[in-house]
């Protein structure tokens, strides 16, 4: 029985194993804080030998990079789907921002972990580099969504989409951080509605 279990583990595709371990890493950090992450804890959470973690990820930094990447992919898919809806720009932007808020409310621990990792980067060069790369990817994704929204309606933004994307991203991070502390749903919704209104007003014919 033990031999069959080992054989099964050995034949799990690397990409599938990485996804499994990335989820386990996020679970460990949600339970114990981002600073508690170790490859041993991830192996225990995933129910795999420690060697399986080291085979899939050459370092803890590579594992953390995968955590950031998984969040970026999930967030951008969420925003992109919402931005593809029909309707006036303010309505579409509002829907995209509400989708972000819904994700935050569903999994507040995920946002807390990501904010912890980013702040830890202020004291750790490796984490700082990973956080910078993550933020750059968010910026690029946000700018791409804004470009597509304007192009789909034959409109243009009154400023560089990189600047607008950075402003939206910064406000989402700040609002998420405040919500984690206050859990004030009404205020979060009001702020996001106002952000959608202001942003839609910067589209021009």
CATH code of 12-58, in short, is 1.10.10
CA distance 4 to 122: 46
Question: Which sign, positive or negative, has the C-alpha torsion 98, 100, 101, 106?
Answer: positive
Q: Where in the chain is the domain with CATH 1.10.357.10?
A: 60-204
Res 8: pLDDT: 44
Res 3: pLDDT: 47
> Cα-flanking dihedrals φ and ψ of residue 30, to 5°?
-65, -40
CA distance 89 to 93: 6
CA distance 200 to 134: 26
Q: Where in the chain is the domain with CATH 1.10.10?
A: 12-58
Q: Which residues of the chain have pLDDT under 50?
A: 1-9
Q: Are 131 and 72 in contact (CB under 8 A)?
A: no
Res 110: pLDDT: 95
CATH class of 60-204: mainly alpha
């Amino acid at each position: 029985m033990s031999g069959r279990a080992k054989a099964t583990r050995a034949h799990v595709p690397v990409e599938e194993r990485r996804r499994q371990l990335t989820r386990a890493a996020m679970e460990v950090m949600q339970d114990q804080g981002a600073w508690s992450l170790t490859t041993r804890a991830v192996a225990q959470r995933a129910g795999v030998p420690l060697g399986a973690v080291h085979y899939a990820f050459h370092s803890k930094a590579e594992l953390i990079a995968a955590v950031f990447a998984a969040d970026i992919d999930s967030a951008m898919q969420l925003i992109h789907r919402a931005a593809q809806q029909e309707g006036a720009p303010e309505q579409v932007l509002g829907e995209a921002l509400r989708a972000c808020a819904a994700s935050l409310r569903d999994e507040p621990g995920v946002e807390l972990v990501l904010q912890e990792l980013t702040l830890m980067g202020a004291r750790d060069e490796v984490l700082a580099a990973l956080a910078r790369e993550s933020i750059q990817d968010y910026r690029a994704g946000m700018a791409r969504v804004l470009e597509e929204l304007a192009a789909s309606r034959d409109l243009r933004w009154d400023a560089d989409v990189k600047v607008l994307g950075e402003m939206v991203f910064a406000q989402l991070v700040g609002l998420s951080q405040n919500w984690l502390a206050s859990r004030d749903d009404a205020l979060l919704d009001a702020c996001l509605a106002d952000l959608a209104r202001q942003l839609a007003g910067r589209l021009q014919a």
